[in-house]
Amino acid sequence: MPKTPPAALPPITASALAGHAEGVSNDEFRAAMSRLAAGVVLVTAFEPPLAPDGPKGEDVGMTATAFLSVSLDPPLVLVSLRTGARMDDLLDEQPLWAVSVLSESQRHIAGRFAMKGRISDRLLFEDIPYVRGEATGAPLVGGALAQLECRTEQRVEAGDHTLVIGRVLTARVPSAEGGPLLYFRGRYRQLG
């Protein structure tokens, strides 16, 4: 019995090659990756004061969807940060950070810390309930599905991002209420 030949692939045109030698444009890559649902977390760290007699330091936060478990033994996680972003610069100097896995009712927190040209982080944290992590001093958001405190083990440059691999120092599941906040096709979503 003769086999049916595979469907012909569309020709690669000059416009399809725009942006990358490998043939995938930024828009094509974004569109494809937007079909991958991702959990939403808030990555936080405490930025120590620049001088002992200066301001007391500041909490810093960033919404992330590129966060995953790497290893069980030792417990490692990974977060991808845009190179040169404030959180990337801070975690290059400060090895302690935390992650709050956001619930579906915390969409406003995700949006607040994902804004471009946003106001100061101090104001962003102002009305959000949180506790300070015992191991890191970083904010852990109240009502989160899970809270992790981490210490950077390794930083890997990857294109226009830095992959920060952290050893989990503490892990808590403070809330069993509600489902996870997801990011899919450019919008925050919930299960169901």
The per-residue pLDDT string of the chain (192 residues; one tens digit each, 9 = 90 and over) reads 555 555 554 554 444 445 556 788 888 887 887 777 788 999 999 998 876 766 688 999 999 999 999 999 999 999 999 999 999 999 999 999 999 999 999 999 999 998 776 667 778 898 899 999 999 999 999 999 999 999 999 999 999 999 999 999 999 998 667 899 988 888 888 887
Q: What pLDDT score was predicted for residue 130?
A: 96
Smallest CA-to-CA distance from 63 within 82, 76, 89, 47 is with: 82
- Which residues, 6 or more positions from 21, have their beta carbon under 8 angstroms from its beta carbon? none
Q: What pLDDT score was predicted for residue 56?
A: 81
Smallest CA-to-CA distance from 182 within 32, 35, 29, 27 is with: 35
N residues, the chain? 192
Q: What pLDDT score was predicted for residue 123?
A: 81
* pTM summary value: 0.82
